[in-house]
């Protein structure tokens, strides 16, 4: 069967020079034209990768594309080159308008195709999704692999297209919803996405035991947390690192360290297999201890992200977070003992919020000194307890996601006071990842003594020396890190190139940039090399212009946008044209 799986754009994105689409499928009025997309938002959903892997394993012809940043005219032209029997689209609240627009486009071009939508937003509002968009035939609710596989089998044998557990569908008599689908007990039975697609993301478990009111995890995965085995996880890691030649992995489990025995086994396996890479993970502060943190750092973990949300006990109770500020402070100090980067996720505008509760959170950040923090406002998502509360209180309704124009439904509770408004304004102007605290040279030297054989410990020390302009010491430790087999040698050579520029040795700098490119593609290195060459052509030191180069080794590197993981260029060979016809290339717009 011909299957096309798509991650739609947020809405109809205009090409440069075009007027925005002013229909209900165009950009919302509250979206600033200057605001750019980024982070996990543009990465293809892991669930879509998994659906594709299951279908490919049993022999189907599957095309998987990330359309998140593509202009509408390009998507229209692209869909005309992608005939299929079955189209599957992944719908989040952020791209609900784009999902509807792409569905309608497919229906117009391929009236006989079957169109199914899944993802958190559609799963929470299956009846509303089908009622609003007549082009959609069905909605996969929650965990999708078994449901999608059964749908494919039914379509292949021309069986009744409804009556499937875990799915909603359209009938002549209206919309029907099948019984809930039993969750997959053995996740290791699934085909791994990394066997078919390059990915720097990995999920080794599904679900979270937390009951946070703002989170929709339970509606998607259920309350019971399920895990891939340590062996299966290690095989996925090995393939990403050694077959795909990736030096960094973002583990996107909601609570990676929940099963500490499994985490220790994974860390031990990484070391025994000598899998050389850097990684980060998300978890809860109440699932960390010194033994786990030491093992993770030794196995290459560079950063841990934890959801603090608020340091006010009142707010933590209101959102049912199940942690205390003291516990987060303890976990932070343990993590910093081993040189791990620690990031806090924070949320403003929860029920009971006030200037006092937000000041408590800000004061806590100053005390705890995380390396980074990320502030956002409360967003109400269907399928969460917080949305249900707002719905029951008459503050929100399900239809608004289809009848009103907004990017995300940010709903801030709180007293009407000048102090609170002032803090909200500060948060609004400081959204995104904010760097707050860095290790000192003395602290990094202590950490290096704990991990003398860890290349990343030398790179951390070398990078800090670089930013403090101690270039001889920086070069020494960076070279040691590279010689010891640092996971991302390209970033090490990028440091060396930048040091050479600062010393006026431009020939050596270009050589180091070329060495960096040989050891890994990275936008930062390409931009630095281009900047240096342009600067030299313009006269170099005689031009009176400064050259600005970027040198760091953060986990959040600038990856080359490549399909389907990121919305990179799409190359289509026109099968209707002559065999020697030039391929058609579609480019993202942002």
pLDDT per residue of the chain (590 residues) written in tens, 0 to 9: 999 999 999 999 988 888 877 777 888 876 665 566 777 899 999 999 999 999 999 999 999 999 999 999 999 999 999 999 999 999 999 999 999 999 999 999 999 999 999 999 999 999 999 999 999 999 999 999 999 999 999 999 887 656 899 999 988 889 999 999 999 999 999 999 999 999 999 999 999 999 999 999 988 888 899 999 999 999 999 999 999 888 899 999 999 999 999 999 999 999 999 999 999 999 999 999 999 999 999 999 999 999 999 999 999 999 999 999 999 999 999 999 999 999 999 999 999 999 999 999 999 999 999 999 999 999 999 999 999 999 999 999 999 999 888 888 887 887 788 889 898 888 888 888 999 999 999 999 999 999 999 999 999 999 999 999 999 999 999 999 999 999 999 999 999 999 999 999 999 999 999 999 998 867 889 999 999 999 999 998 888 788 999 999 987 766 778 999 999 999 986 544 445 567 888 899 76
Domain with CATH 1.25.40.10 in the chain: 441-543
User: Where does the chain hold its CATH 3.20.20.70 domain(s)?
Assistant: 201-378+413-435
Q: Which residues of 431-463 are buried (b: 16+ CB within 10 A; e: fewer)?
A: eebeeebbbeeebbeebbeebeebbbbbbbbbb
Kindly list the strands in the beta sheet with 432-435, ordered across the sheet, starting from the edge strand earlier in the chain: 201-202, 248-251, 278-283, 301-309, 341-348, 372-377, 432-435
- The CATH number that domain 2-184 falls under is 3.40.50.280
Separation between Cα atoms, residue 462 and residue 441, nearest integer Å? 9
Return phi, psi of residue 207, to 5°: 105, 175
Please spell the DSSP secondary structure of 49-117, one letter per residue.
HHHHHHHHHTT-EEEEEE-TT-BHHHHHHHHTT---SEEEEE--GGGHHHHHHHHHHHHHH-TTSEEEE
Give the contacts of 416 (CB within 8 A, at least 6 positions apart).
none
Q: Please give the CATH number for the structural domain made up of 441-543.
A: 1.25.40.10
Quote the pLDDT of residue 578: 43
pLDDT for the residue 581: 60
Burial of 514 (0-12, 13-18, 19+ CB in 10 A): middle
Q: What is the pTM of this model?
A: 0.93
pLDDT of residue 40: 83
What local confidence, expressed as pLDDT, does residue 213 receive? 95
Closest among 321, 298, 194 to 252, alpha carbons compared? 194
Domain spanning 201-378+413-435, CATH class: alpha beta
> Assign residue 215 a region: left if phi > 0, alpha if psi is -120 to 50, beta otherwise?
beta
Domain with CATH 3.40.50.280 in the chain: 2-184
pLDDT at 584: 84
């Amino acid at each position: 069967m011909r299957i096309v799986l798509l991650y739609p754009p947020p809405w109809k994105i205009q090409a440069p020079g075009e007027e925005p689409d002013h229909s209900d499928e165009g950009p919302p009025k509250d979206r600033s034209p200057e605001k750019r997309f980024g982070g996990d938002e543009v990465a293809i959903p892991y669930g879509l990768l998994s659906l594709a892997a299951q279908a490919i394993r049993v022999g189907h012809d599957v095309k998987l594309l990330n359309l998140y940043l593509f202009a509408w005219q390009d998507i229209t032209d692209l869909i005309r080159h992608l005939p299929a029997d079955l189209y599957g689209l992944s719908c989040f609240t952020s791209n609900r308008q784009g999902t509807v627009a792409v569905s309608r486009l497919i229906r117009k071009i391929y009236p006989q195709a079957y169109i199914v939508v899944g993802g958190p937003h559609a799963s929470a509002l299956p009846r509303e999704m089908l009622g609003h968009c007549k082009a959609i035939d069905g909605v996969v609710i929650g965990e999708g692999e078994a449901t999608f596989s059964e749908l494919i089998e039914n379509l292949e044998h021309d069986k009744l297209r409804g009556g499937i557990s875990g799915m909603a569908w359209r009938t002549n008599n209206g919309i029907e919803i099948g019984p809930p689908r039993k969750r997959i007990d053995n996740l290791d039975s699934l085909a791994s996405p990394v066997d078919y697609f390059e990915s720097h993301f990995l999920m080794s478990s599904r679900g979270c035991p937390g009951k946070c009111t703002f989170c929709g995890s339970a509606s998607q995965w259920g309350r019971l947390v399920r895990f891939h085995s340590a062996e299966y996880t290690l095989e996925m890691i090995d393939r990403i690192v050694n077959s795909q030649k990736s030096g960094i992995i973002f583990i996107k489990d909601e609570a990676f360290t929940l099963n500490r025995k499994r985490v220790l086994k994974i860390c031990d396996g990484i070391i025994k297999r000598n899998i050389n890479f850097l990684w980060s993970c998300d978890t809860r502060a109440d699932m960390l201890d010194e033994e786990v943190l030491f093992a993770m750092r030794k196995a290459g973990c560079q950063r841990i992200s934890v959801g603090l949300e608020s340091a006010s006990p009142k707010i933590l109770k209101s959102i049912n977070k199940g942690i205390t500020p003291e516990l987060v402070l303890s976990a932070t100090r343990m993590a910093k003992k081993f040189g791990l980067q620690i990031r806090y996720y924070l949320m403003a505008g929860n029920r009971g919020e006030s200037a006092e509760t937000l000041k408590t959170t800000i004061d806590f950040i100053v005390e705890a000194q995380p390396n980074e923090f990320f502030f956002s406002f409360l967003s109400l998502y269907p399928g969460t307890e917080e949305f249900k509360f707002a719905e029951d209180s008459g503050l929100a309704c399900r239809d608004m996601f289809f009848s009103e124009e907004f990017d995300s439904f940010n709903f801030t509770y709180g007293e009407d006071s000048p102090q609170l408004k002032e803090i909200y304004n500060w948060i609004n102007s400081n959204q995104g990842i904010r760097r707050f605290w860095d290790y000192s040279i003395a602290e990094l030297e202590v950490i290096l003594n704990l991990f003398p054989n860890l290349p990343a410990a030398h790179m951390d020390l070398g990078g800090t020396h670089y930013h403090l302009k101690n270039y001889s010491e920086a070069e020494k430790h960076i070279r040691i890190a590279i010689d010891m087999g640092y996971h991302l040698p390209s970033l090490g050579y990028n440091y060396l190139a930048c040091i050479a520029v600062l010393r006026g040795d431009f020939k050596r700098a270009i050589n180091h940039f070329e060495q960096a490119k040989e050891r890994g593609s990275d936008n930062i290195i390409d931009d630095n090399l281009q900047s240096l060459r342009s600067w030299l052509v313009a006269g170099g030191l005689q031009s009176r212009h400064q050259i600005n180069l970027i040198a760091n080794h953060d986990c959040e590197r600038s990856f080359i946008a490549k399909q389907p993981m990121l919305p990179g260029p799409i190359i289509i060979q026109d099968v209707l044209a002559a065999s020697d016809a030039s391929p058609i290339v579609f480019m993202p717009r942002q």
